[in-house]
Amino acid sequence: MRAMKLLYKNRKRIKYLIAFAILLLVEVLIALYVHDEFIRPYVGDVLVVIVVYCFVRIFVPDKCRLLPLYVFLFAAGVEVLQYFELVKRLGLENNTFLRGLIGSVFDMKDILCYAVGGLILGGYEFKNYTLSRDAIKQGRKTLP
């Protein structure tokens, strides 16, 4: 049974790794090639929360149902640091990579986009929790 659980966790980790890699590629492509007023600022911010979630899930595949909330709080915290001009205070204004990674302009709309991403992930977590709970109640195995 222990070997099956380990196999199950490793399968989940691989799925999250693949999702992380694909979504990260999408984020990079958006950052490099999309210069509009909707996809880059809004869809990109929703996706970044999902990218971080997938990255964390590679290492913590189960037992953290509040992870969407934690990822949202992390993203919102980074946005608040932009309000306090962290990049400028650290002297990183000339470092294009870190300035882009941390961000340099606070926008409340970004936090709303992070919240949308968090709600999407919360729905995903709820669905997975409900399905596995129902399977256990019916006496079925939850492992594939």
What is the band of 136 on the pLDDT scale with cuts at 50, 70, 90?
A: low
In whole angstroms, give the CA distance from residue 82 to residue 132.
39
Give tens-digit pLDDT for 94-134: 998 888 888 889 999 999 999 999 999 999 999 988 777 66
Residue reference for tokens 């691989």: 14
Instruction: Supply the pTM of this predicted model.
Output: 0.87
Copy the structure tokens of residue 23: 């979504």
